[in-house]
A and B are shown apart, each in its own frame.
Chain A
Amino acid sequence: SQQGEEDPQALSIQEGENATMNCSYKTSINNLQWYRQNSGRGLVHLILIRSNEREKHSGRLRVTLDTSKKSSSLLITASRAADTASYFCATDAGRDDKIIFGKGTRLHILP
């Protein structure tokens, strides 16, 4: 079974609002990564947070990690039409070299 599970599966918000999506995972991790996928394209890396970090920022992105709850959240502030995409979390347990993805959240920004 897959390591990460994103929530919600789909999200529609108005342009300018903030979007929050969550990821839960099952086993201990070395780091957690978030990726974006525009329709039909390959995934693009957004941000990585290590297991000893609790929060990380990159531009309009804010990622949190709670290892006690085995969960992470991705916040996109001041959303734009170009943010419409699918977002995936991926976990790296560090014990082997597997990087396991969740099922993703489809984000739609309404004009």
Chain B
Amino acid sequence: DAGITQSPRHKVTETGTPVTLRCHQTENHRYMYWYRQDPGHGLRLIHYSYGVKDTDKGEVSDGYSVSRSKTEDFLLTLESATSSQTSVYFCAISDRTVANTGELFFGEGSRLTVL
């Protein structure tokens, strides 16, 4: 299995509080992604990173920020959590090169509940 861990795995927080989810990889893959999964919506891309300090927005980036200060860590921050951000968050990594078109390896998910 790809070395990718998410923390925390479960978190309950209150509306208006900041929350940071961490994705850590040991594969030295260049690309890292944050998705959220909600019933009826499948997986939706929040933000992604194509290198250290290189990030871009996905489909549903409003209310989220990310940072990648080193290859192995990709942080997702909810500056002021809202109930609509209650979801399961998945991190994924990929090694996109000329030879490899970019299979994603997923973490086990972080379940966030915003009360």
Q: Is A21 an interface residue (CB 8 A)?
A: no
Q: B4 — nearest CB in chain A belongs to which residue?
A: A42
Contact B42 A101 (CB under 8 A): yes
B residues near A88, Cβ cutoff 8 Å: 42-43
Q: Is B62 an interface residue (CB 8 A)?
A: no
* A46–B56 alpha-carbon span in the complex (Å): 26
Residues of A1-56 at the interface with B, using a CB-CB cut-off of 8 Å, are: 2, 6, 30-31, 33, 35, 40-45, 48, 50
Contact A96 B56 (CB under 8 A): yes
Contact B96 A97 (CB under 8 A): yes
* A103–B41 alpha-carbon span in the complex (Å): 5
Which secondary structure characterizes the binding site on chain B?
strand
Contact A43 B104 (CB under 8 A): yes
Interface centre among A41, A44, A97 (most CB of B within 10 A): A97
* A96–B45 alpha-carbon span in the complex (Å): 13
The interface size bin for chain A is: 20 to 34
Contact A42 B106 (CB under 8 A): yes
Contact A45 B42 (CB under 8 A): no
Q: Is A75 an interface residue (CB 8 A)?
A: no
Contact B106 A101 (CB under 8 A): no
A residues near B58, Cβ cutoff 8 Å: 98
Residues of A76-111 at the interface with B, using a CB-CB cut-off of 8 Å, are: 88, 90, 92, 96-104
3 shortest A-B CB distances, which residue pairs? A42-B106, A103-B42, A101-B43
Given A42-B107, A43-B106, A88-B42, 16 other A-B residues pairs in contact with their CB atoms under 8 A: A2-B42, A2-B44, A31-B101, A41-B109, A42-B106, A48-B101, A90-B104, A92-B101, A97-B96, A98-B48, A98-B56, A99-B92, A99-B104, A101-B44, A101-B45, A102-B42
